[in-house]
Each structure stands twice: as structure tokens, then as C-alpha cells.
């Protein structure tokens, strides 16, 4: 995990529900564009109470649900009409890879596919407002990993086959081996430009038109 200090070491501080509501209102007051809830599922009941309190006090910002994608449909159904922007990862195509690198989460691919379809049902395709700031919709992220650990091309194929072609897809290039990644030689390096180019090319071949290509500099660089 590239955020292992938070996910593994338990850094952070406890807050009461009313304090969280006040934090949301403060963010609105200082000009933030949205309330971005990162990995919020295990606190979803408390967060929903805080949103309810904040909304009664004037909160009008879009609510972003920033998640790994491994979400129960029962939780997502409760969020229908509350969350404005879903920002899920689609990390792995293969269940064995998910189990190996993500704490035994063998069901990750199937659970994530069902979750993404439900997210799309609720909020549709992400479309920015005239000022360029996103207000509503589904935004899928996929991190390209070395040696195709994530099954990147298969992920792109599934998106193209099951969602509109203008679905927002962020193809991320920033994989950096940290923490326990060095225990696995196959993921102990950054990705190559060719690995990244191949995924972007496949997404384009499939007709996906709303690609956020983070590795753009690689695509423009001449290869000797």
C-alpha cells in the first residue's frame, strides 16, 4: 500500500460525529469544491449522520465516495441519493492476484464489478460543470502495475463492454514499490513506459473516449 502509514500504522485522530459535520462545513466555508471521503465504508453509518447534520446547517458541496471498489451492494444502496461522485479503484482483474496482494481479497474482482455497475446506476457518467469542476458521476481509477499484475487490458475491456464509452477512466502510472512490495520481486519496481503505453492503446482501441492519462509524458517521448 502506498499509503501504508495510514492503512497499517493507524495514524490519525478520533472525532465525534458533530465534529465531523463541523469539519465539512468549514471546508465549504474556505472554498473547497467537494467533501472527499477516502476509504469511508467502515465508518459509513457515522459519516451519514454527520452529512445529515451538516446538510441541515447548510452543507451544499458534492459528496465524493473515494473507495478501493470492494464495496457491498447493501451499503451502496443506502448511499443512493446522498453520494454525488463515486471514485472507485478497479485494482485487479484476476482473483488470485487480488488474494495474493490484497490480504486474501479473492472476491475483489467480482465484488468490484457489481459495485461499479451499481455506482453507475446511481450517478451515471461523470460530466464536469462549465467551470471544469466535477459535480456528479462515476470516475474509475486503474493503477497499472508491473508484469500486468492488475490485468489492465482485461479491466479496460470490461469497462468498454459494460459501461458507456464516455465513462471517465483514470489510467494511473504512479505505482511505486513501498512497504511490503519488496517481498514480491514481480512488483518491486516501477512500471515501464511500454507497459503503460500498452494499456492506454488498448483502451483507445476499445473506443473509450474519456481517458485521464497520467503518464502522458511517456506517450509523447520518442523511444530509441
The answer for residues whose C-beta is within 8 angstroms of residue 114's C-beta and 6 or more apart is 73
Decide which of 20 and 185 is more confident. 20
Checking if the pLDDT of 219 tops 50, the result is: yes
Checking if the pLDDT of 3 tops 70, the result is: no
| Residue (of 54, 45, 64) closest to 18 by Cα position | 54
Cell (9 digits) for 89? 479503484
User: What domains, with CATH codes, occur in the chain?
Assistant: 62-220 (3.80.30.10)
Q: Find the range with the poorest average confidence among 9-13, 27-31, 118-122, 188-192.
A: 9-13
CA distances in angstroms from 212 to 80, 128, 143, 208, listed in the order given = 26, 13, 12, 11
CA distances in angstroms from 55 to 60, 77, 108, 155, 165, listed in the order given = 7, 20, 33, 37, 34
Checking if the pLDDT of 223 tops 70, the result is: no
Residue 222: pLDDT band (50, 70, 90) is: very low
pLDDT of residue 119: 99
Q: Tell me whether strands 211-213 and 168-172 are parallel, antiparallel or unpaired.
A: parallel
pTM above 0.85, yes or no: yes
DSSP label at residue 72 = -
CA distances in angstroms from 177 to 84, 108, 187, listed in the order given = 32, 21, 7
Q: Find the range with the poorest average confidence among 13-17, 108-112, 161-165, 199-203.
A: 13-17
Residue 91: pLDDT band (50, 70, 90) is: very high
DSSP label at residue 169 = E
Q: Find the range with the poorest average confidence among 50-59, 91-100, 180-189.
A: 180-189
pLDDT of residue 5: 54
Q: What is the mean pLDDT of the chain?
A: 91
Amino acid at each position: 500500500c502506498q499509503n501504508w502509514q495510514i492503512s497499517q500504522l493507524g495514524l490519525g485522530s478520533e472525532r465525534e460525529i458533530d465534529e465531523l459535520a463541523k469539519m465539512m462545513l468549514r471546508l465549504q466555508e474556505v472554498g473547497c469544491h467537494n467533501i472527499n471521503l477516502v476509504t469511508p465504508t467502515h465508518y459509513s453509518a457515522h459519516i451519514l449522520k454527520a452529512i445529515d447534520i451538516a446538510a441541515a446547517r447548510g452543507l451544499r458541496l458534492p459528496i465524493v465516495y473515494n473507495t478501493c471498489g470492494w464495496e457491498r451492494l447493501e451499503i451502496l444502496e443506502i448511499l443512493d441519493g446522498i453520494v454525488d461522485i463515486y471514485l472507485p479503484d478497479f485494482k485487479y482483474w484476476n482473483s488470485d492476484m487480488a488474494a495474493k496482494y490484497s490480504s486474501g481479497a479473492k472476491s475483489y474482482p467480482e465484488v468490484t464489478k457489481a459495485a461499479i455497475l451499481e455506482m453507475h446506476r446511481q450517478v451515471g457518467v461523470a460530466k464536469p460543470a462549465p467551470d471544469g469542476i466535477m459535480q456528479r458521476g462515476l470516475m474509475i481509477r486503474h493503477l497499472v502495475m508491473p508484469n500486468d499484475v492488475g490485468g489492465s487490458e482485461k479491466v479496460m475491456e470490461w469497462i468498454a463492454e459494460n459501461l458507456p464509452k464516455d465513462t471517465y477512466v483514470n489510467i494511473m502510472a504512479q505505482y511505486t514499490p513501498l512497504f511490503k512490495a519488496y517481498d514480491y520481486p514481480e512488483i518491486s519496481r516501477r512500471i515501464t513506459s511500454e507497459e503503460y503505453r500498452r494499456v492506454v492503446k488498448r483502451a483507445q482501441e476499445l473506443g473509450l473516449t474519456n481517458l485521464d492519462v497520467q503518464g502522458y509524458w511517456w506517450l509523447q517521448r520518442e523511444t530509441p
